[in-house]
């Protein structure tokens, strides 16, 4: 709450110019997706066994990516 009051005070002092200097941002964790292609599925089959080709399958790995985005207000 202290930051909000400080922003309000600064806005009363500087007006619209203060708002033009504000930069906002957001962070989020995004799961890493591994898409398995038909060719990759085929490569896993045994040499002598018949191979059934499947559509690409997506699996969530244990890895996550951190995305941080900044923009002007």
User: Which pLDDT score, from 0 to 100, does residue 30 have?
Assistant: 85
Contact, 65 vs 27, CB < 8 A?
no
pLDDT at 12: 94
Place of tokens 């997506």: 58
Looking at residue 27, its pLDDT comes to: 92
Predicted local distance difference test score (pLDDT) of residue 21: 86
pLDDT recorded at residue 44 = 55
At 40 the pLDDT is: 55
Could you tell me the mean pLDDT of each successive run of 10 residues in the chain, 73 residues long?
91 91 88 64 57 58 82 70
Task: Provide the CB-side half-sphere exposure for 44 (13 A, CA).
Answer: 9
């Amino acid at each position: 709450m202290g930051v909000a009051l400080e922003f309000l005070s600064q806005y009363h002092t500087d007006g619209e110019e203060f708002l033009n200097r504000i930069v906002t941002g957001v962070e989020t964790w995004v799961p890493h997706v591994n898409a398995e292609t038909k060719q990759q599925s085929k490569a896993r089959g045994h040499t002598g066994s018949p191979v059934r080709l499947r559509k690409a399958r997506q699996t969530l790995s244990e890895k996550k990516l951190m995305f941080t985005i900044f923009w002007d207000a």
